[in-house]
Amino acid sequence: MLEVINFYLIPGLVLGSIYALAAAGLSLAYGVLRFANFAHGELMTFGAYAALVAVGLLGISPWAAVPFAIAATIPVILLADRAFFAPLRRAQPAVLLISSFGVALMIRAVVYFVWGPTPQGYARGFTPPLLWEGLRIQPRHLYILAGALAAAFLVHLLLSRSRAGRAMRAMADDPDLARITGVPVDGVIRLTWAVSAALAAVAGVFLAIDTELSPMLGFNVVLAAFAAAILGGIGRPWGAALGGLLLGVAEELSTYPWIGEGPLLEPAYKTGVAFAVLVLVLIFRPQGLFRGMN
């Protein structure tokens, strides 16, 4: 039992926390703006590399570089919105979706040009795991879990306790009514992008800390984040976060040798779990666990 917890459940919760942050940002943007932003993965990558710059220039830890990653990533999406998304705001969602692919390719090209294609990592030595009653956990995993909880709590406070959050929820529930009642639409859109980009940057830094930096960092997980958002109910940030946790745990547990001595699913194929879940949800419950938007 301890083996399952130490080597499968805890890593699954860590991966799920990263999925949860990415999926919540995706779902929040969809709820207000009504289109799927496929540049979200590249925002994760850009945030992770921005943190690398802060680590190198300031000599700080990657944990302390998270605010720098957020501050660098938000202007990128605001610029993309002003240049590409805003002129297409009244176009069909498919047009905006395709434009987000273009934005993703442009951000990825910048990453390749500035930092190159070689994988990198935040400099760190060996850190022994924490041991307690047979449980073992890496300190970085504790920090990732704590950071994800803190980010979720801050987003909850923003959406539930602030005037800006109420405006965002009004836009998500009924955009036309929100406009009629005087909600500052442009300001809400900018705030939505800022929060979504901040969540992407945090997820990117956490993923890079747990694995390594590469230009394909965010792209490799963005489809799983979409699967999590759909599983939880597209447009429902809390549902997306729960979907991310479930997918992360499911991916890791799928590699445990439940039958026989070999893994039930080879680790190289565990990402396929997210797509299997996505297909099943679309077939049997397309509205998601929490009845997302159409």
> Is 248 a domain residue?
no
Residue 61 lies in a domain: yes
Which residues in the chain land under pLDDT 50?
A: none
Note the pLDDT of residue 16. 95
With the C-alpha atoms ordered 289, 290, 291, 294, is the resulting torsion angle positive or negative?
A: negative
276 located within any domain: no
SS3 30: helix
Residue 293: predicted pLDDT: 53
Calpha distance 197→80 (Å, rounded): 12
Position 57 in a domain: yes
Which pTM does this prediction carry?
Answer: 0.93
The 3-class secondary structure across 63-83, one letter per residue, is CCCHHHHHHHHHHHHHHHHHH
Whether 285 is in a domain gets the answer no
Residue 269 lies in a domain: no
Nearest to 209 by CA among 51, 68, 73: 51
DSSP code string of 234-267 = TT-HHHHHHHHHHHHHHHHHTTS-SSSSS-SS-G
Number of domains in the chain: 1
Cα separation, 108 vs 43, in Å, equals 9
pLDDT in tens, 73-127: 999 999 999 999 999 988 888 899 899 999 999 999 999 999 999 999 997 666 7
Residue range(s) defining the domain that contains residue 164: 2-116+138-216
Specify if 240 maps to a domain: no
Cβ(158)–Cβ(195) below 8 Å: yes
Joined tokens for residue 286: 């397309």
pLDDT given for residue 292 in this prediction: 57
> Is residue 40 situated within a structural domain?
yes
pLDDT of residue 48: 98
* Three-state secondary structure string covering 179-243: HHCCCCHHHHHHHHHHHHHHHHHHHHHHHHHHCCECCCCCHHHHHHHHHHHHHHCCCCHHHHHHH
Distance CA(266)–CA(249), nearest Å, equals: 15
Cα–Cα distance, 217 to 205 (Å, whole number)? 10
What pLDDT does residue 280 have? 85
- Give the C-alpha separation, 125 to 139, whole Å: 12
In a 3-state reduction of DSSP, which class is residue 32? helix
